[in-house]
Structure 1
Amino acid sequence: MSDADAPTTRLTAWVHGLVQGVGFRWKTRTKALELGLVGFASNYPDGRVLVVAEGSEDATAALQAWLRSGDTPGRVDQVVDSVTGPRGDYTGFETR
Structure 2
Amino acid sequence: MDTKRWQLLISGRVQGVYYRASTEQKASALGLTGFARNLPDGRVEVVAEGQEDQLTQLKTWCADGPPNARVDSVDIILETATGEFSGFGIR
Letter in 2 for 1:91: S
Task: Give the aligned partner of residue 51 of structure 1.
Answer: 46
Task: Give the aligned partner of residue 75 of structure 2.
Answer: 80
Number of equivalent positions? 89
Query: Based on CA coordinates, which of the two structures has the bigger radius of gyration?
Result: 1
- Residue among 34, 41, 47 paired with 1:39: 34
TM-score normalized by structure 2?
Answer: 0.90
Task: Give the aligned partner of residue 14 of structure 1.
Answer: 9
CA positional deviation for 1:59: 0.6
- Residue among 18, 21, 31 paired with 1:23: 18
CA positional deviation for 1:87: 1.2
Structure 1 residue runs without a partner (length 5+): none
TM-score normalized by structure 1?
Answer: 0.86
Task: Write the distance in 1 (CA, Å) between the matches of 2:80 and 2:26.
Answer: 21
RMSD between aligned alpha carbons?
1.3
Which secondary structure does the structure 2 equivalent of 1:16 belong to? strand
CA positional deviation for 1:35: 0.2
Which secondary structure does the structure 2 equivalent of 1:59 belong to? helix
